[in-house]
Amino acid sequence: MTYRTTLSRTWWLKHNAFKAYMLREATVLPLTFFILCLVSGVYCLWQGESQWNHWQTAMGQPWVLAVNLLAFFASLFHAWTFFQLFPRVMPIRMGHISVPANVLIAGQWAAVLSVMVLFSWLFWGKL
């Protein structure tokens, strides 16, 4: 006769590696909120100018700003984990040598930065 342990619903609280995993998975919760913000923005833009202004005011409410601050940190945490996983899932070889993981990670952060630069250029004309 053998016995077997089964995982309880709270298995992920029992080890730091699992807590970090669940935190990574939970980054999509504030992301979902921000996506809904964008969708409502698009909807307001479609409805007309007064609705668009209304959306801008709504986005400035303290609790919305607070959740979006959370979403901002969640997106950076997600990026940090995601960029590390990428070279392991899709290792890139150039001829005989494989591209070092930290080169790929740095390249991805460069992409994040260039999107920020692009947006700054779009909104402020020039840097």
Partner 1 sequence: MNDRTTENMTIKPKKNHRSSEPVWWALFSAGGVCFAVFIPTAILFFGFLQPLGLIDFSYSQAHNWFFGFWGLMFSGAFIILPGFHAAHRIRHGLHDLKVQRHGLIKVICYGLAGLISLLTLGIWFTGIIS
Partner 2 sequence: MKTIHITRYLPESSEIPFVQQFDIPADDSTSVLDALNYIKEELDPSLSFRWSCRMAICGSCGLMVNGKPKLGCKTFLRDYQENITLQPLAHLPVERDLIVDMDVFLTHLEAVKPYLISDDSLSTEPNKQTPTQMAKYQQFSDCINCGLCYSACPQFGLNPEFLGPAAITLAHRYNLDSRDHGKAQRMPLLNTEEGAWSCTFVGFCSEVCPKKVDPAAAVNQSKVESAKDMIIQLFKGNL
Nearer to partner 1, 9 or 88 (CB): 9
- Binding of partner 1 at residue 25 (CB under 8 A)? yes
Task: Extract long-range pairs of 49-58: CB within 8 Å, 24+ residues apart.
Answer: none
- Binding of partner 1 at residue 49 (CB under 8 A)? yes
Q: Which of 2, 63, 97, 126 binds partner 1 (CB under 8 A)?
A: 2
Q: Which of 98, 106, 115, 121 binds partner 1 (CB under 8 A)?
A: 115
Q: For residue 95, which amino acid is it?
A: G
Secondary structure letter of residue 9 according to DSSP: T
User: Buried b vs exposed e over 32-44: b needs ≥16 C-beta within 10 Å?
Assistant: eebeebeeebeeb
- Binding of partner 2 at residue 19 (CB under 8 A)? no
Q: Name the minimum Å distance from CB 39 to partner 2.
A: 27
User: Buried b vs exposed e over 92-126: b needs ≥16 C-beta within 10 Å?
Assistant: eeeeeeeeeeeebbeebeeeeeeeeeeeeeeeeee
- Binding of partner 2 at residue 94 (CB under 8 A)? no
What does 79 interact with, of partner 2, partner 1, none (CB < 5 to 8 A by kind)? Answer: partner 1
Residue ranges that bind partner 2, judged by CB under 8 A: 1-7, 11-12, 14-15, 17-18, 21, 25, 85, 88-91, 96
